[in-house]
């Protein structure tokens, strides 16, 4: 008897839906890191309070964690059986 994999031939580990979900996760990660950047001061003797704003303390880390969660879902997702 032949194995099911031998009948089907070569198959990729992921299908199109997995790659779409991975793309969404990468976009979330990139957006989170872009929002996290900046906030420094050109002069080291001057304090810039912009580094403690809501965007850097809350929004960016949440987007980064969501991005990693979406990547895990993309890896674990198995499509519907036909």
> Alpha-carbon torsion 44, 48, 53, 55, what sign?
negative
Mean pLDDT of all residues in 65-78: 95
Q: Please tell me the distance from the alpha carbon of residue 25 to that of residue 63, in angstroms, as a whole number.
A: 9
Q: What is the pLDDT of residues 7-61, one digit of tens each?
A: 668 888 889 999 999 999 999 999 999 999 977 777 888 888 878 888 999 999 9
DSSP 3-state percent helix, strand, coil across the chain (nearest 5): 65, 0, 35
Tokens representing residue 75 in the block: 């890896």
Q: Please tell me the distance from the alpha carbon of residue 45 to that of residue 49, in angstroms, as a whole number.
A: 13
Reported pTM: 0.78
Smallest Cα–Cα separation from 63: which of 38, 8, 15, 26?
A: 26
Tokens 């976009």 belong to 27
């Amino acid at each position: 008897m032949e194995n099911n994999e031998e009948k089907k031939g070569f198959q990729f580990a992921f299908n199109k839906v997995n790659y779409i979900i991975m793309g969404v996760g990468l976009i979330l990660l990139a957006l989170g890191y872009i929002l996290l950047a900046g906030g420094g001061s050109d002069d080291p003797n001057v304090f810039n309070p912009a580094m403690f704003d809501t965007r850097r303390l809350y929004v960016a880390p949440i987007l980064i964690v969501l991005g990693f969660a979406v990547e895990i879902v993309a890896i674990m997702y198995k499509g519907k059986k036909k």
